[in-house]
Amino acid sequence: MGSDNVIVVQAIQKEFGTKKVVRAVSLTVHKGEIFALLGPNGAGKTTLLKMMTTLLRPDAGSITLNGFNTVTQSRQARHQFSVTNQAAAIDQDLSARENLRLFGRLNGLSAKASRFRADELLTDFDLSQSADQTLATFSGGMRRRLDLAVSLVGRPQILFLDEPTTGLDPRTRTQMWHATQKLVNSGSTVFLTTQYLEEADQYANRIALIDHGALIASGTPNDLKKQVGGQQLQITIANPQQVVQAQKICAAVLEQTVQLNGQTIVGPLKGIDGPPVTELLTRLQLAGISISKLQLAPPSLDDVFLKMTVGKN
């Protein structure tokens, strides 16, 4: 095993009562990666993360963090990471700046270094303007930004985040991702869970998909898309009255079910050859249906997820 394998999860299992919540999941996370664990509600993401952060004991299998076993060497394993949940330790009566400086000191930074680090994080998370207010005046989004900032104070080697961007506005999400990337650029490794496929696609180096507790696929976003293959055809119908008729024609020509997204019909193309598209346009024209937009796009992670989870429910 190379020393590049910062997190190694081997055949991990967890049952609650008779319910198998995590089934023989194995995965490896390399140094300097952003690794995203994706899956629908109840898939077992948080349970897996709790086992990785020593909060929950696996029924079988093993997890090592920088080589330390989370069960038999839990104290050393805990020294390897930071996790956002520990933000509960933030003091409500202190300002954001004071909290960050305090955490800096608790993390062993000198007074000067903790002042510097606090200012740096306040800037990164756009909290400089409100740095000296007490937390009672903070909005939910500001609080979440501070939570993440606090977990970054000690520049953890491994950072675990459970749905870091859920419920945040787009600008705050982007800030969270940029701060995470900055940490990774300085050599840390990030393991996070998310339900936002587009975000994982854009920011994660590698992704694992879990469903009903089992790992169903893993790889780079491009690897996963290649497994699905083909391009996606998107046709926007000009007249809303004709959308249903157009959808039937598309399904017939493409020989598969196609999705409807407003007035846009979305369907996979088998291969990248032109004939089905040409035939489709001819058929639509013959039916007197005009289109306002036509687009070919690579498959999205949504397609990957739908395809991989099909028939498993």
Ligand X SMILES: Nc1ncnc2c1ncn2[C@@H]1O[C@H](COP(=O)(O)OP(=O)(O)OP(=O)(O)O)[C@@H](O)[C@H]1O
Nearest of 213, 211, 206 to residue 24 by alpha carbon = 213
Output the residue with the shortest Cβ distance to Mg ion.
Answer: 46
Select 5 or 46, whichever has its Cβ closest to Mg ion.
46
Provide the angle, in degrees to the nearest 10, between the axes of the packed helices 111-124 and 140-152.
140
Residue count of the chain: 313
Distance separating the N- and C-terminal Cα atoms of the chain: 36
Which CB atom, from 98 or from 163, has the smaller least distance to ligand X? 163
Considering the complex, what minimum distance in angstroms separates the CB of residue 276 from Mg ion?
41
Minimum CB–partner distance for residue 80 and ligand X (Å): 22
Total binding residues toward Mg ion, as defined by CB under 5 A: 2
- What is d(CA 232, CA 225) in angstroms, rounded to the nearest whole number? 11
Cβ-based neighbours of 94, under 8 Å, separated by 6 or more: 102, 134, 135
Helix (H), strand (E) at residue 112: helix 111-124
Closest distance of CB 215 from ligand X, Å: 13
The one of ligand X, Mg ion, none whose footprint includes residue 43, by CB under 5 to 8 A per kind, is ligand X
Q: Is the CB of 55 or the CB of 111 nearer to ligand X?
A: 55
Residue 47: contacted member of ligand X, Mg ion, none (CB under 5 to 8 Å, by partner type) = ligand X
195 binds Mg ion (CB under 5 A): no
Q: Which entry of ligand X, Mg ion, none binds 28, CB below 5 to 8 A by partner kind?
A: none
Residues in touch with ligand X (CB under 6 A): 16, 21, 39, 41-47, 195
Q: Which of 26, 46, 85, 128 binds Mg ion (CB under 5 A)?
A: 46
Q: Residue 260 Cβ, how far from ligand X at the closest point, in Å? A: 26
Give the nearer residue to ligand X in terms of CB position, either 53 or 188.
53
Task: Choose between 99 and 194: whose C-beta lies nearer to ligand X.
Answer: 194
Kindly tell me which of 45 and 97 has the beta carbon lying closer to Mg ion. Answer: 45
Asked if 182 and 10 touch (Cβ cutoff 8 Å), the reply is: no
- 26: partner contacted, choices Mg ion, ligand X, none (Cβ within 5-8 A by kind): none
- Smallest gap from residue 149 Cβ to ligand X (A): 23
Say what the alpha-carbon torsion angle 138, 145, 53, 55 is, to the nearest 10 degrees. Answer: 10
Q: Measured from the CB of residue 209, what is the shortest distance to ligand X in angstroms? A: 11
Judged by beta carbon, residue 68 or residue 196, the one nearer ligand X is 196
CA–CA distance, 49 with 25 (Å, rounded to integer): 12
Cβ of residue 85: shortest distance to Mg ion, in angstroms? Answer: 11
Angle between helices 140-152 and 96-106 (to 10 degrees): 20
Q: Tokens for 142?
A: 């500001």
Torsion of CA 287, 291, 296, 297, to 10 degrees: -120
Report what 225 binds from Mg ion, ligand X, none; CB cut-off 5-8 Å by kind.
Answer: none
Decide which of ligand X, Mg ion, none touches 97; Cβ closer than 5 to 8 Å per partner kind. none
**Residue 46, phi-psi category: left (phi > 0), alpha (psi -120 to 50), beta (remainder):** alpha
CB of 17 to ligand X, least distance (A): 7
Our CB check for ligand X shows the closer of 18 and 241 to be 18
Q: In what order do the strands lie in the sheet with 68-69?
A: 19-30, 5-16, 60-65, 68-69
Residues making contact with Mg ion (CB under 5 A): 45-46
